[in-house]
Amino acid sequence: MVVVETIKAQKIHGCQILETVYKHSCGGLPPVRTALEKILAVCHGVMYKQLAAWMLHGLLLDQSEEFYVKQGPSAGGAAANQEEEEEDLGLGGLSGKQLRELQDLRLIEEENMLAPSLQQFSLRTEMLPSYIPVRVAEKILFVGESVQMFENHNHSPSRAGSILKHQEDLFAAELHRLKQQPLFSLVDFENLIDHIRSTVAEHLWTLMVEESDLLEQLKIIKDFYLLGRGELYQVFIDLAQHMLKTPPTAVTEHDVNVAFQQAAHKVLLDDDNLLPLLHLTVDYQGKDSKDAIGPRDGATPPQDTSPREIPPTGWAALGLTYKVQWPLHILFTPAVLEKSVHFSLWLRTPCGSLYLFGS
């Protein structure tokens, strides 16, 4: 009766009911404990159904916001809790918290040629029962996001197949077995989550590192964002100096991209597949109102719409964007590319002045 009254009075719902029933089942009266353990087992059955839909099919069927995974960014308090317990998710040392940071910004469509944007998910920690650690919830979140990303964006015939390696039926049977247990076992629960996570992480490793050639993408970032191709930028400075030494105008961006293409041809960088993915941007006053279609992949969207000062020179407003191909866009997000720009893209002009290459 106390449990029912507590749930009614505090309007407890969803996975919060698990926590309430669990706390009251820890009492010393055997009849009460036995009865509440049976109720808890039934409630766990609902949770396992949610887990099966999320982890095996990437489906979040939660219209009433009862599950501890939600669509949308995490709140500040939740992020602080996640920082306390952070574990390697098996994807090349990528942790759950790092995955949240990498997916902090969505990719935006432009010119009808960009990939669909990522959906962002996070933990609803107030729904997480105390007997399920945050580290386990992070693994659940990682698996579901990976499955959903693969199912929604895998349009290539060469990459056909399941990210779970067609073991959905096996994992579903294991979840059903846990559902039939009279008492919840964290050891068995976490072992199964680890098994599913390892399968997903192994597939993602093969997809990203081997099939999508992650090392080649890192070389591109080094060459163009970290000035690995110094001769290219030296020629570009010579060609673009007269355009960028004055405040930028509406045509400056077009002109500097033409100069960039000419510089690439002069240093024999004639990769027809690579050059179309690179684009120089010039952030001049009034550009935001004209670019209503949204920023290009890799460009940081405007933080506000307040009036800004006119850049003193085109160099001060110059930035570089790069269209990252699926599925590496979950690693090379606009936020990551922006950090690369601010970290090391300083150019020395013929006049000897230093300018930050990026907005």
Local confidence pLDDT in tens for the 359 residues of the chain:
889 999 999 999 999 999 999 999 988 889 999 999 999 999 999 999 999 999 998 899 888 899 999 988 766 544 444 444 445 555 545 555 555 554 443 333 333 333 334 557 889 999 999 999 999 999 999 999 888 877 766 545 444 456 777 888 999 999 999 999 999 999 999 999 999 999 988 888 888 888 888 888 888 888 887 778 888 888 888 888 888 888 888 888 899 899 888 888 888 876 767 888 888 888 876 555 444 334 444 444 444 444 556 777 888 888 888 887 777 776 777 767 676 555 444 444 444 333 434 43
Domain spanning 214-287+307-348 has what CATH number? Answer: 1.20.120.1900
Q: Please give the pLDDT value at position 88.
A: 52
- Could you check whether the bond before residue 133 is cis, i.e. omega within 30 degrees of 0? no
Q: Which one, of 107, 81, 76, 82, lies nearest residue 331 by Cα? A: 107
How many degrees, rounded to 5, is the angle at CA 134 between CA 132 and CA 139?
95
In angstroms, rounded to a whole number, what is the distance separating the alpha carbons of residues 345 and 230? Answer: 11
Locate the domains of the chain by residue range: 1-74+116-211, 214-287+307-348
Q: Please give the pLDDT value at position 161.
A: 54
In angstroms, rounded to a whole number, what is the distance separating the alpha carbons of residues 19 and 36? Answer: 12
Q: Please give the pLDDT value at position 322.
A: 81
**In the structure encoding, which two tokens stand for residue 127, read together?**
């729904």
Residue 201 zone, left/alpha/beta (φ > 0; ψ -120 to 50; rest): alpha
CA 9 → CA 130, 312, 317, distances in Å? 21, 62, 57
Whether the CA torsion 87, 90, 91, 92 is positive or negative: it is positive
Q: Are 162 and 168 in contact (CB under 8 A)?
A: yes
How many degrees, rounded to 5, is the angle at CA 154 between CA 152 and CA 158?
165
For the full predicted model, state whether its pTM sits above 0.75. no
